[in-house]
Amino acid sequence: MPANWGSWKADRRLRPIGGMKPAPARGGLVLEVSGGVDQLMRFQETLRRLAMIDEGFVTSEARLGLDPATTSALDAKTAALLQVGACVAIGSPPICLDWSTGRALAAGASEDEIADVLLAIAPVAGLGRIVCAAPEVAIALGYDIEAALEEPA
């Protein structure tokens, strides 16, 4: 099996995928983008907007309705608390925990209710998920757990 681009290139049976050409700097393959800079800018903008959870963008482009109040029998606060629990249970990244915690607060949930969600899902999600998520949820609530742990009792 060829180990580098030079070996691959020398093997006449193998052809780069359409639109691929050797990358001059690394000896690998790069995709030739026919749309030029505009095409590159579009993917960068898409990734940026997804990373920051641009709700309007996610709703229109990914067709994911992030507002449960429009499609649910649950009140907005309960739905937002469930979103916090689901984000914790699946091991979502910090930005998602921050987003869901912020939505829960905006829907009228208290800090205690959000913390209680972590306790409520612990038997199902597992202690590891809760321990990993707790500092991120705390930051979203404006509480610095690390500083609190360093203070003498």
13-71 pLDDT, tens digit each: 545 444 445 445 544 444 444 555 555 577 788 778 777 777 777 776 655 665 655 55
Phi, psi values for residue 22, rounded to 5°? -60, 135
Whole-model pTM? Answer: 0.60
- String of DSSP letters for 27-41: SSEEEPPTTHHHHHH
Q: What is the topology classification, in CATH, of domain 68-150?
A: AhpD-like (1.20.1290)
Distance from the first to the final alpha carbon of the chain? 62
Average pLDDT on 86-103 reads 94
HSE (side-chain half, CA atoms, 13 Å) at 29: 11
The domains of the chain are located at 35-66, 68-150
What pLDDT was estimated at residue 90? 95
